[in-house]
Structure 1
Amino acid sequence: MPVSESQIRSSLADVSNEAFWLDSPERPEATAPLSANRSCDLAVVGGGFTGLWTALLAKERDPDRHVVLLEGGTVGWAASGRNGGFCEASLTHGADNGEKHLPNENAQLTRLGYRNLDEIEAAITRYGIDCDFERTGLIDIATEDYQVAGLREAHNPDEDAVFLSQEELQASIKSPTYKAGLFMERECAILNPAKLCWGLLRVCRDLGVEVYENSVVRNLENAGNTVKLTTDNGTVTARQVALGTNAFPALLNRVKWHTAPIYDYALMTEPLSDEQWSEIGWAGREGLADAANQFHYYRRTVDGRILFGGWDAVYYYGRAVSPKLYTRQETFETLARHFFETFPQAEGTKFTHAWGGAIDASTRFFAFFDTAFRGKVAYTAGFTGLGVGASRFGAEVMLDLLAGAKTEITELEMVKKKPLPFPPEPFMWVGAKLTTKALIKSDQNEGKRGPLLRVLDAMGVGFAS
């Protein structure tokens, strides 16, 4: 039965545009901004997952290291607190994308990704971080007949990828749109991302990290044996610097063209009734994502809600990064329609939150790394939506690079080789529009890739995951 426009409007009538995870009484009070000049061993720029893990791991490696963390807003307010709460093992945005870009080390990166996720889980347990972490696994879902064969071919129980027929999947999770699934038990955990940020903040401060929020770093300057970071109300002089600035303009000119802010949007329902959950099932609480280019991701919460996001990935002219872009009514209405088509059992459910935010996309769809100022500065970005888990790995890489260490991870081609940069405007905007149309057309043509996508594939640009 088609979803009516009145049902969509009613479901969205009273939403808050605050990200659900951040709209919480557990949100800590902001620390004071930097108000005087400071010096330290390591300055970390960015209070999202990358910066928090970097500060925490730095103190674990050397408890006497003096670490200062500078955040332009409040900890976790941007991408780290606005995502779907999927903490995936993949470091390469999926095995297929890893095979496309780094075939010689894809197996190694898969192993390192599983290790990284295990270590995230261990740290959450070790430090008593309450963030609703659940190692539930992930199901890729075919919603079109042509997608079933691809999932069946990926079936490999030895590699933790189990094909689910339509009947097997429907016995677990009931949706009229489901054709088949691929269950990967070790691949993914779900969590509350804001609570993880706040837990990491608490641990960092307990370990002695100085944290200054609402302290935007305006400039980075090589100062001989040190690096000078300038904010509006003070400076930090550091022996070393780690930059985790995500989609925001990079403080290093050499990498400013290697990321682009792509906006993603999500909805959160009110808690569903016991009767609705009985009709839907989903007792395993797995993370779910469908197999199209324009895909949805969705998951349950501990209080019986459903987060439903994805589909549109929007680039705004001029690499715009602004809170004004965190809402997009057209996308919210599309997501609402798709939600009720996926779960008609939820008819009458209201959405309480509808929000968006910027993702730090790279052309290869996974993180890259760089150093500057003769090794005193390390940088990582480009996680392209999988940073909840991979950010910790990025923190490890940056610390090894700053240490000048030759380790397994610093010797990776992934670390040594940067992706292609994005073009300047207006070519970036035109290219984004054309690529989006090509991806939509591919979905409409049973996944067949047209001329533009084949050219991008040959150039080593992403879109293979």
Structure 2
Amino acid sequence: MSSRVPTFTDDFVNGDVSFWHRSLGPAHAGPVLGGDRRADVVIVGAGYTGLWTAYYLKQARPSLDVVVLEKEFAGFGASGRNGGWLTGDLAGSHARYAKTHGVAATRALQREMYASIDEVIAVCEKEGIDADIVKGGVLNVARGSAQAARLRASVAEAARWDVEVRLMSPQERDARLRVAGAVQASWSPHCARIHPAKLVRGLTRAVRELGVEIFEHTPVDEIAPHRAVTPYGTVSADYVIRATEGFTSTIKGLRRQWLPMNSSMIVTEPLPDSFWEQVGWQGAELLGDLAHYYMYAQRTADGRIAFGGRGRPYLYGSRVDARGHTHDWTVEALWGLLVDFFPAAASSRIAHAWSGVLGVPRDWCSTAHVDQATGIGWAGGYTGHGVTTTNLAGRTLRDLILGEPTHLTELPWVGRDVRPWEPEPLRWLGVHSMYRLYRVADARERSMSRTSALARLADLITGH
């Protein structure tokens, strides 16, 4: 049997909850909303954004009555399905933020992203949340001349935005992590590994201990000025905060606001010591690459590889597959790429595969906003960089809700106006064309020294 054909553990699971949640056992869901009620702030969505917002509001004003409404259970969505990257990468384009707010403001946003990593770590220490956090940095590898050219260009551009990243020597790269076919690599210290479900469950506990009520299995059908409507009652509040990220398209009137993009992951069984002796990876570094159809990976605390990338990127009509099933061809593609990176893993098996959705604005830049007239606020559109950005969002929404101008409320993502995505079938055609072009471009670049024109065309189609 070819090493590129995956084999599975006896207890292999495809979909449902992520491996992260499965490793902890079933979550204990809170009560369902039991009728109409009044609050100071109602937050729709019990993922990282909603929980961080509730946490910082109650820390700042303990007397506030804060209610969180969740369709499934806390952390069911992207907060419990992501790759576990607490990264300082900006959730958006430096150049696009700078175009509207200037270089200095964009640099300030980047610095806040770096600071948010340490803020998450500090809160975990304060609240006793053991989320397997190791601030081991991030290593991005180029596998081929075209990728290496993009890597060098990105590192050269980084200084303009106060991005702390540098090229690595081959010796330094291999001392940290040995990836087959790597010709060049960059390094940044601003990234930490986390166990996503441990973080979201610990944060849920901390928020409840502050007196926040979290009503689970309570879907919100409509968000309107000063109220959130559910089948079990309406919560009226001074502020209604939408913290629904990739599930925003399921709310009435918001189908074209943020596009729900799918990302998929597999995780291996625990790998033997002999494997780690061959590849290194002793510092729990996060791993990415410079392909257009990119991957992301971490070494878990129990010695597995969690490996992710794009699967079936988008469902027609902005539909969301909440169950997280991953298509067989996606599982095979991710496994093939994992083995291509680490041939020594070929004899191992896959223990779990799952998918989740992330929110993508039309300009691929995240936003945070509170409308004082309607009381409606939101944060999201993190384009896959939400683990850290949600913490910054929670603190920013706190300041906006409390009406306290701070350095956070002046950041360039606050109040950003983004046009909606095109109606169907245009957005389906655009997204699928983009990813098909990216796949073809990656294949062509194996024998090229520069970026394929097809990738530039894909960027042009969708504004990536």
Whether TM-score is above 0.5 comes out as: yes
**Alignment-derived partner of residue 139 in structure 2:** 139
Deviates more, 1:199-208 or 1:90-99: 90-99
Which position in structure 1 is the counterpart of 2:222? Answer: 219
**Structure 2 gap segments, 5+ residues each:** none
- Residue aligning to 2:107: 107
Which residue pairs with 2:346 in the alignment? 347
Distance 1:261 1:315 in 2: 7
Q: CA deviation at 1:99?
A: 6.2
In the TM superposition, what is the alpha-carbon distance from 1:413 to its structure 2 partner? Answer: 3.2
- Tell me by how many angstroms 1:420 deviates: 3.4
Residues 270 and 98 (structure 1), Cα distance of their counterparts in 2 relative to 1, 3 Å cut: farther
Equivalence for 1:281: 280
Where do residues 248-327 of structure 1 align in structure 2 (5 Å cutoff)? 248-249=247-248, 256-312=255-311, 314-323=313-322, 326-327=325-326
- In the other structure, the counterpart of 2:178 is 174
Contact residue 172 and residue 281 of structure 1 kept, 8 A: yes
Partner Cα distance (1:319, 1:11) in 2: 31
Q: Call closer, same or farther: CA 1:372–1:152 in 2, change over 3 Å.
A: closer
Question: Cα–Cα, structure 1 residues 102 and 12, in superposed 2: closer, same or farther, change >3 Å?
Answer: farther
Return the offset for 1:13. Answer: 7.3
Distance 1:274 1:5 in 2: 23
* C-alpha distance in structure 2 between counterparts of 1:235 and 1:449, whole Å: 52
How far is 1:387 from its partner? 0.7
Q: How big is the shift at 1:400?
A: 2.5
- Gaps of at least 5 residues in structure 1 are none
CA gap 1:75/1:39 in 2 versus in 1, 3 angstroms: same
Q: 1:258 to 1:37 in 2, by over 3 A?
A: closer
Q: Which residue of 1 aligns with 2:120?
A: 120
Secondary structure class of the residue paired with 1:299 = strand
302 and 6 in structure 1: CA distance in 2 versus 1, 3 angstrom threshold:
closer
How far apart are 1:103 and its partner, in Å? 5.3
Shift of 1:303: 0.6
Q: Which of 2, 7, 11 matches 1:10?
A: 7
The CA distance in 1 between the partners of 2:279 and 2:93, in whole Å, is 28
Would the aligned equivalents of 2:220 and 2:230 in 1 still touch at CA under 8 Å? yes
Q: C-alpha distance in 2, partners of 1:262/1:200?
A: 25
Alpha-carbon contact 2:42-2:237 (below 8 Å) kept: yes
- Equivalent residues of 1:165, 1:179 under 8 A apart: no
Whole-angstrom CA distance in 2 between matches of 1:326 and 1:101: 40
Q: How far 1:138 moved relative to its partner?
A: 0.4
Aligned to 2:194: 191
Alignment of 1:89-104 (within 5 A): 89-93=88-92, 104=103
Instruction: Compute the RMSD of aligned alpha carbons.
Output: 2.6
Counterpart-to-counterpart distance in 1, 2:44 and 2:192: 27
Q: Distance in 2 between matches of 1:173 and 1:455?
A: 31
Q: Secondary structure at the match of 2:245?
A: coil
**SS state at 1:364 partner:** coil
With structure 2 as the length reference, what TM-score do the two structures score? 0.90
The code of the aligned residue for 2:187 comes to F
1:374 and 1:254, CA in 2 relative to 1: closer, same or farther beyond 3 A? Answer: farther
Q: CA deviation at 1:76?
A: 0.4
The CA deviation at 1:39 is: 1.3
Q: Which amino acid aligns with 1:414?
A: W
* Partners of 1:438 and 1:453 within 8 A in 2: no
Q: What are the Cα deviations for residues 55-110 of structure 1, in whole angstroms up to 9, with x where unaligned? A: 00100110111111111100001111001110112333475776688652321111
User: CA shift at 1:300, angstroms?
Assistant: 0.4
Q: Which moved more, 1:405-414 or 1:310-319?
A: 405-414
Distance apart, 1:163 and its partner CA? 1.3
C-alpha displacement of 1:406: 3.0
CA distance in 2, matches of 1:41, 1:207: 15
Q: How big is each residue's C-alpha offset from its partner over 1:385-420, in whole Å with a ceiling of 9 and x where there is no partner?
A: 111110111222222332333332333332232233
385-394 or 5-14: which moved more? Answer: 5-14
Once the two structures are TM-superposed, the CA of residue 216 in structure 1 deviates from its matched residue by: 0.8
User: Contact 1:85 / 1:193 at 8 angstroms: preserved in 2?
Assistant: yes
- Measured in 2, the distance between the counterparts of 1:40 and 1:177 equals 56
- Asked if the contact 2:117–2:388 (Cα under 8 Å) also holds between the matched residues in 1, the reply is yes
- Structure 1 Cα separation of the partners of residues 145 and 278 of structure 2: 24
2:19 corresponds to: 20
Cα 1:324–1:255 shift into 2, 3 Å? closer
Deviation of 1:311 after TM superposition, in Å, equals: 4.0
| Cα distance in structure 2, aligned partners of 1:392 and 1:365 | 19
Question: Per-residue deviation at 1:255?
Answer: 5.2
Identical-pair percentage: 31
Shift of 1:168: 2.9
Please give the residue correspondences for 1:41-52 in structure 2 after superposition, counting only pairs within 5 Å: 41-52=40-51
The whole-number CA distance in structure 2 between the counterparts of 1:200 and 1:358 is 21
1:61-76 equivalences under 5 Å are 61-76=60-75
TM-score under structure 1 normalisation?
0.90
Shift in CA distance, 220/99, structure 1 to aligned 2, threshold 3 Å: closer
**CA separation of 1:248/1:293 partners in 2, compared to 1, >3 Å: closer, same or farther?**
same
| Structure-1 separation of matches of 2:96 and 2:136 | 23
User: How many Å separate the matches in 2 of 1:374 and 1:251?
Assistant: 24
What amino acid is the match of 2:164? D
**Number of residue pairs the alignment of both structures matches:** 453
Residue 203, structure 1, aligned to residue 206, structure 2: yes
- Describe how 1:359-370 pairs up with structure 2 within 5 A: 359-370=358-369
